[in-house]
Structure 1
Amino acid sequence: MAKSLYIDKSKMNVSIKIYPAKNGDCFLVSFWEITTEKKHLLIDCGYVDTFQKYLKDDLIKIGESGGTLEKLILTHIDADHIQGAIRFLKDNNAEKFIAIKEVWHNTYRHLCVQKEGEIDIKQERILQQIIRRGNPQSESKQGEKGISAEQGTTVGALLLQGKYSWNSDFNNQAVCIEQRSEIELKPGTNIYLLSPDKQKLGKLKDLWTDELKRYGANFNSGNAQLYDDAFEMLLSWKIEKAKIAPKPISATKETLEELLKTPFDEDCTATNGSSIAFILQVQDKKILFLADAHPGLIVQSLNEYQNEGTIIFDLIKVSHHGSFGNISRELLHKIDSEKYLISTNGQKHGHPDKETIVHIITRKAGFHRKLYFNYITANSKYFDRKDWKEKYNYSIHYLDQQPYTLTL
């Protein structure tokens, strides 16, 4: 007697659409059962042209079909993560092409206790000066225009204008692990927050205070939105300034043995440390989204999530575009996957670092590792060697600089 084919209609499917975001991040995560409509999470938005060329059409189609975004997660204040969000929110406020149930985004109002009251005219002028300076203007090496957000516009201002639910999962406070570490999206689908914590957010607050002092400002009362806008603008410029640091000499190393000996120096920037990083668990599938987070805190949080042994994920989005300062031996001892995703075109930083890739591929495992890159870079090509791929049991997959969907 022939066996009947049983289809488990309750089994959740998961896909991740990876957008070409230059040296930034933009991911649309969708999950669904055979009998239910898709649910969607949008994680960062890259630059303006990421949204204009690719993302907007997808979001319009979702909205037209009656779909919504369960969460818009903006991991931290950095142009390569949020400039596309500024254009998205501006267009969506005007056109209302998709509903957003909840936005995660940390800014000044979540870091500081705001005292309402009169603000000194001189101090207010300083804030207005910072805001008028606008967002950093970015341009690709090929001279492509239009990747910068409108000047004088911020995510916070647009969220208030659109009356979105903003950090309500965290009682309208900061997205941080002390506030709440687990959020249920639906039965069997959860987000486990790994970063930031209050200490990392405190360092971001200190950075803001130090930068204000350079402008001759030192105050803590007045219009909250004015503070939000100045905070976002000022830190975006601070980040851009940090990006011009020279590339470490390790990029010239030629052998795997030399690369493996490179000392690890953990990223200590306050902005990256404030990154929202998390595990998305959809039934038996686990995906690790590391944003640009610091590895020390991630290891600490993962040990609380699962104390013993290595955690095997269905996909790991590598932190900070493959920067060696954001992946440590301790972290790699704690996590592994058959699929690693690195999002960057290699501009400005030369990411991904060779040291990061060599530490991923040379670890022993009982499975074949697949490394996914959404751009071909010099350092990804360096590891595209048949002898190494056979020896260390890995393969390299390029996503052709187009939106590409991975189904898990």
Structure 2
Amino acid sequence: MNVNIKIYPAKNGDCFLISFGKTDEEKEYLLIDCGYVDTFQKYLKNDLIKIGNGGGILEKLILTHIDADHIQGAIRFLKDNNAERFITIKEVWHNTYRHLSEQKEGEIDTKQERILQQIIRRGYPQNESKQGEQGISAEQGTTVGALLLQGKYSWNSDFNNQAVCIEKSRVALSLDASIYLLSPDKQKLEKLKNLWSDELKRYDANFNSGNSELYDDAFEMLLSWEKEKVKVAPKQISAKAETLEELLKTPFDEDNTATNGSSIAFVLQVQNKKMLFLADAHPGLIVQSLKTYQNEGTIIFDLIKVAHHGSFGNISRDLLNKIDSERYLISTNGQRNNHPDKETIAHIITRKADFHRKLYFNYITVNSKYFDRKDWLEEYNYSIHYLDQQPYTLIL
């Protein structure tokens, strides 16, 4: 059975449409993140309309974490689908305020409501918009959570309407396919909750009381800005390192952002094919979870979607000792934080293997071009493949 992975040009974001099935009538579809608004408008919407017109449905819409480059396209998708119903979404995975709070809804005082409304009106960061480029940012004041409630979608029902969490590690899709969760765990979700609570204290607002829908919306907006704070001053990891030896000696410094740590990362298994989707997850937790998935030896995947657009903070020697593949996918245009980091690529290509590695990039970047050297390609037995900034279907 073939597995088709459609990779969309999502700027510095992620958007993947996966399909598999013995026949067209039995084909199952999964959508992982939605990139920006123009990712949806230019490419994704037409594909989803075709699937819907053909009688297909989305088995899962998986929004890995709250970050503009993963969910802004989802806001436009849900808004349009609520109005037009061009495709049925069987289940949505998306963690927000209601999945972190154990408190029941209660009354909210006028002051608290005013503060939350102020946060919501602030909307998403607009940094991605460029002069003359339209449709990148989502509508301000609109959130995934509000649209899911409006559209009455099944939301985290695989987890009893609680947070998507590795406490339930395996979710069956069909007789031939399943998802094995690797992230987040309770500790990562608790860190996200504490970040939210601390941020609200600065506004003199409470965390555990009030209308959860209002809190869902404020939560989504506030955390998107928290991620922006981290991106304002990116680390210049590769500023001086130029040779492979220097790149390999760069000290590893694991990503510690709460939003990335809350990423939904997983193994998708379809018959005997295994694909690793790492979102922006933290490598320490991924290694722990993979040892539970398969304790002994290195796990060879049919595809690895590299975490956090190739950021060196989301890969580690322990992780690379545990995983390998003939196919690595890095999704980014390199315009934020200069991803992918050279260190990440250097560590991937220099490991010994009995097979030829293919590195797939949906955009040409400065750092991808850096490794497009004939001597290195031959010595380390890898090749670089560009997807021409167009949707590309990888068939496994």
Q: TM-score, normalised by structure 2?
A: 0.98
Report the secondary structure of 1:243's partner residue: helix
CA–CA separation in structure 2 for the residues paired with 1:253 and 1:45: 34
* Aligned: 1:80 with 2:45: no
Deviation at 1:140, TM superposition (A): 4.9
Are the equivalent residues in 2 in contact too, given 1:139–1:145 (CA < 8 A)?
Answer: no
For the structure 1 residues 219 and 264, does the alpha-carbon distance in structure 2 shift closer, same or farther, using more than 3 Å as the test?
Answer: closer
Structure-1 residue corresponding to 2:51: 62
Are the equivalent residues in 2 in contact too, given 1:177–1:194 (CA < 8 A)?
Answer: yes
CA–CA separation in structure 2 for the residues paired with 1:57 and 1:225: 31
Deviation at 1:218, TM superposition (A): 2.4
What runs of 5+ residues in structure 2 fail to find an aligned partner?
A: none
Structure-2 residue corresponding to 1:353: 341
Identity %: 84
1:195 alignment partner, one of 162, 183, 193: 183
Deviation at 1:145, TM superposition (A): 2.3
Are the equivalent residues in 2 in contact too, given 1:322–1:356 (CA < 8 A)?
Answer: yes
The letter for the 2-side match of 1:280 is: L
Deviation at 1:104, TM superposition (A): 0.1
Structure-to-structure mapping, 1:131-280, within 5 angstroms: 131-140=120-129, 143-178=132-167, 180-280=168-268
CA–CA separation in structure 1 for the residues paired with 2:272 and 2:337: 36
CA–CA separation in structure 1 for the residues paired with 2:64 and 2:70: 7
Structure-to-structure mapping, 1:235-384, within 5 angstroms: 235-384=223-372
Q: What is the number of residues matched between the two proteins?
A: 396
Are the equivalent residues in 1 in contact too, given 2:34–2:40 (CA < 8 A)?
Answer: yes
Greater radius of gyration (CA): 1
Are the equivalent residues in 2 in contact too, given 1:251–1:354 (CA < 8 A)?
Answer: no
Deviation at 1:38, TM superposition (A): 1.6
For the structure 1 residues 339 and 142, does the alpha-carbon distance in structure 2 shift closer, same or farther, using more than 3 Å as the test?
Answer: farther
Are the equivalent residues in 2 in contact too, given 1:138–1:147 (CA < 8 A)?
Answer: no
1:91 alignment partner, one of 66, 80, 96: 80
Deviation at 1:370, TM superposition (A): 0.1
Deviation at 1:146, TM superposition (A): 1.6
Deviation at 1:32, TM superposition (A): 1.3
For the structure 1 residues 193 and 260, does the alpha-carbon distance in structure 2 shift closer, same or farther, using more than 3 Å as the test?
Answer: same
* CA-to-aligned-CA distance 1:49-106 (integer Å, 9 cap, x gap): 0000000000000000000000000000000000000000000000000000000000
CA–CA separation in structure 1 for the residues paired with 2:84 and 2:187: 39
Report the secondary structure of 1:190's partner residue: strand
CA–CA separation in structure 1 for the residues paired with 2:272 and 2:62: 22
The letter for the 2-side match of 1:157 is: A
Report the secondary structure of 1:72's partner residue: strand
Are the equivalent residues in 2 in contact too, given 1:371–1:395 (CA < 8 A)?
Answer: yes
What runs of 5+ residues in structure 1 fail to find an aligned partner?
A: 1-11
Deviation at 1:139, TM superposition (A): 2.9
CA–CA separation in structure 2 for the residues paired with 1:313 and 1:88: 31
Are the equivalent residues in 1 in contact too, given 2:129–2:137 (CA < 8 A)?
Answer: no
Report the secondary structure of 1:396's partner residue: strand
CA–CA separation in structure 2 for the residues paired with 1:197 and 1:268: 14
CA–CA separation in structure 1 for the residues paired with 2:138 and 2:19: 27
Deviation at 1:142, TM superposition (A): 6.6
CA–CA separation in structure 2 for the residues paired with 1:279 and 1:200: 19
